[in-house]
Each structure stands twice: as C-alpha cells, then as structure tokens.
Structure 1
Amino acid sequence: MSDNAVPTSPAAGPFLSSIMQIEPQWIDYNGHLNMAYYHVMFDRAIDQLWAELGIGPAYMKERQGSTFITECHVRYLREIHLGDPVQVAVWLIAADEKRLHTFEELRHAGEGWVSATSEGMSVHIDMSKRKVAPFPQDIQDNIARALQAHAALPRPEGLGRAIGMPANK
C-alpha cells in the first residue's frame, strides 16, 4: 500500500507485517537472535503500519513529517533462531494529536508462538523544525479509523507491564 493510503475497512485483527527472515549476522554467540535485532524487526513492522496510515517515507519527503520513538519496553519470551520466519502483529492502543501508543508481538510465522513483545510511544515531528507537532488533520483521520478498529480487539497479553522483581510469596 502507498504512503498516502487510507485504511479502509475495520481490522479483523491487529495489523500484520510481511513475513520477515532472520539474517545470519544477527545471530549472537548464544546461537539465537541478538536482542538489538528484535528492535529492528519491530521497527520494520511499525514502518509498514506507518505507510498504511500515510506517515511513511513519502510523507517525510513530501510533507516533512515523521515520528520518533520516545519510550519502548521489550519483553523477550522465547528464543528465535536463524531460519525462523517471523511476523509482527501491531495494535494501535491509543493516540492523540501528537502521539501514538503501540504494542507489537513478534511471532514465529509458521508456528504462531510469541517470541517477544514491544510496547512503545512515538511522537509526531515537524522535521523542518525538528519539534513535536500535531499530525495534519488527514493523518489524524487515518489514525482515528485505525484506532477505532483496534479498540474492538482484545487487548494483547503483556500490555502495560512494568519492570519489577517478582513479589515474595
């Protein structure tokens, strides 16, 4: 879909990225995907969703707007290895005129189990000033449609989790 695309019908589920492959240089000395590359996979999926919302690379080039991530919480749940196909599911949890709250699950594309989750907050940036700024109205409308569709979905497990030591029993 192009950068200027408008999400049409309500989603039956979260946004699904294309199926991606783990690259050999991403495997660490433990024999699994290095933690840094989980972020790469999540970022690639977010880029695909942003293009659906009309805020991808063409938006940056034509309208000098972009997003920056301001906060991110990743949970590593199960190892992923070279040769494992992966797909990221993305929920748009909340949004306002300047911010987007997302939740992502990195899943094994063939078997469906969750390898990791990421929850993030992004802000809209006017790149000509490099300052936080409201999304243009047409983009806010795209976001509102996606947000409405995602609001009807069950909340993903792990949403809003905080880091902390388990309580003693």
Structure 2
Amino acid sequence: MEVLEPRNGEPSDLPTHRLKVEPAWIDTNNHMNAAYYTVAVKDAALYAHDTWDYGDDFRIRTGESNFVVDTQVIYLRELLLGAGLLVRTRILSVEEKRMSLLFEIFNDDLDYLAALVRYRVIHVRLGPPPRAAAIPSPLRRRLEMVRESHAKLPLPPGHERFRSSFSEDTRMSAPRGWVTRGERE
C-alpha cells in the first residue's frame, strides 16, 4: 500500500491510497474484472479506518469493529493492466449502529474517475457470535466530525446511481443468524 500526500487539486481531507492494476485482475476482455474493484478499495478502507482510530488498534482495545453488510459498485470507465489507481475514501453517513462509505477509484495515470464503490457497514461487538451494537459515543462524534468535513466537498459524478441510503431502506438489518441486542435481552 502506498499512501501519499495529496497532489495539487486533490482534496486533502479525504484519505488517499495509490496502487496499480495487477495482472491477476485482468479478465479475457483485457480490462479489470468486476470482482477486483472491491479488492482495489480494501487497503484504502483499512487505511481510512486507521486514520479515524477505528482500525486494528480500536478492535484490539475494545473488542469491537465493523462488518461490511452491503457493497455497491458503479462502473464508469474501464481500467487496464498496469494502470495507476488513486482511491479516495469519504464518509457519507453515520448513524447509531451503521455507517456508509464512498470510495472514488480514479485512473491516476490518465486522470479520470473509473468507478465508485459504496460500503454500508454495521458496528459490531465481536463474538461469538458477533452482535450489532451502537457505535461508542466518542468514536461516533469523531466519525461525525469527519463526515461533516467530507460533506463540504462535492460528490463525484455518478453517485446518484447508488441504491437508497440506510435511512431510506427500512429492510436493512443485521445479517441472518446474528443476534441483535433486542433479541437476546
């Protein structure tokens, strides 16, 4: 993983991660296979969580973390073998137990937005079994401050193609088989 200072014109408030399209990511059409767009944002997500003190140190300290419960990808332009990628991470929303993240994947060599990836995550107390839990107040305040900073920046083109938000999707809940606080008590 390569984490660099923002270039001229890049928002400095957004955690930024750079990598390259790997040979194993290329499909028979000679472009990046759809499955690898989520691979491309994995390290960017880990880095962003560390900058918000919501990464490994937080998990070790508290026994809590978050799990991705929904991923959506909007493909805008193709990516080819060896292309430099720049991934920017922003917080779209923070709720009592949930958070929504947006990853912007750019072709860093040719300077175009190639894809958007949205994660919807749920905060958990690690188990067994893992349980959905409220985000601790100090962390939630920190994440909300970051979200407010990110909200000052314009959203990228294509973001309107994502499905509904948590607030609009009343069917969103903990994955099947998980015990939520209300069910156990």
Please indicate the TM-score interval, normalised by the length of the shorter structure: 0.7 to 0.9
TM-score by length of 2: 0.75
Match of 2:56 in 1: 57
Q: Which residues of 2 match residues 19-168 of structure 1 at below 5 A?
A: 19-128=18-127, 129-162=129-162
Compared with structure 1, are the counterparts of its residues 162 and 154 closer, same or farther at alpha carbon in structure 2 (3 Å cutoff)? closer
- 1:138 Cα deviation after fit: 2.1
Give the partner amino acid of 1:148.
Answer: E
CA distance in 2, matches of 1:29, 1:52: 37
Letter of the structure 2 residue corresponding to residue 153 of structure 1: L
Amino acid at match of 2:161: R
Secondary structure of the structure 2 residue equivalent to 1:149: helix
CA deviations 1:14-69 (Å, max 9, x no partner) are 52322112222111121111111110112221111111111112222222111111
Q: Secondary structure at the match of 2:91?
A: strand
CA RMSD of aligned residues (A): 2.0
Q: Cα distance, 1:117 vs. partner?
A: 0.9
Q: How many residues align?
A: 153
Give unmatched runs, 5+ long, in structure 1: 1-10, 164-169
What SS is found at the alignment partner of 1:83?
A: coil
CA distance in 1, matches of 2:76, 2:133: 35
Report what 2:167 is aligned to: none
Distance 2:112 2:147 in 1: 25
Is contact 1:16-1:87 (8 Å) kept?
Answer: no
- Going from structure 1 to structure 2, the CA distance change for 1:127 and 1:87 (only over 3 Å counts) comes to same
- Letter paired with 1:87: L
- How far apart, in 1, do the equivalents of 2:22 and 2:156 lie? 27
CA distance in structure 1 between the aligned counterparts of 2:155 and 2:80, rounded to whole angstroms: 28
Q: Does the aligned pair in 1 maintain the 2:41–2:103 contact within 8 Å?
A: yes
Amino acid at match of 2:79: I
Post-superposition CA distance 1:88-147 (Å, at most 9, x none): 122211111211112221101132201111122111111135011112222112101101
Distance 1:110 1:24 in 2: 17
Q: Does the aligned pair in 1 maintain the 2:15–2:90 contact within 8 Å?
A: no
Aligned to 1:5: none
Query: Does the 8 A contact of 2:69 with 2:120 survive in 1?
Result: yes
Tell me the percent identity.
25
Letter in 2 for 1:111: L
Q: Unpaired runs of 5+ in structure 2?
A: 1-9, 164-185
Given that 2:86 and 2:106 are in contact with CA atoms closer than 8 Å, whether structure 1 keeps it comes out as: yes
Separation in 2 of the partners of 1:113 and 1:158?
Answer: 13
DSSP-derived class of the 1:148 partner: helix
TM-score, length-normalised on structure 1? 0.81
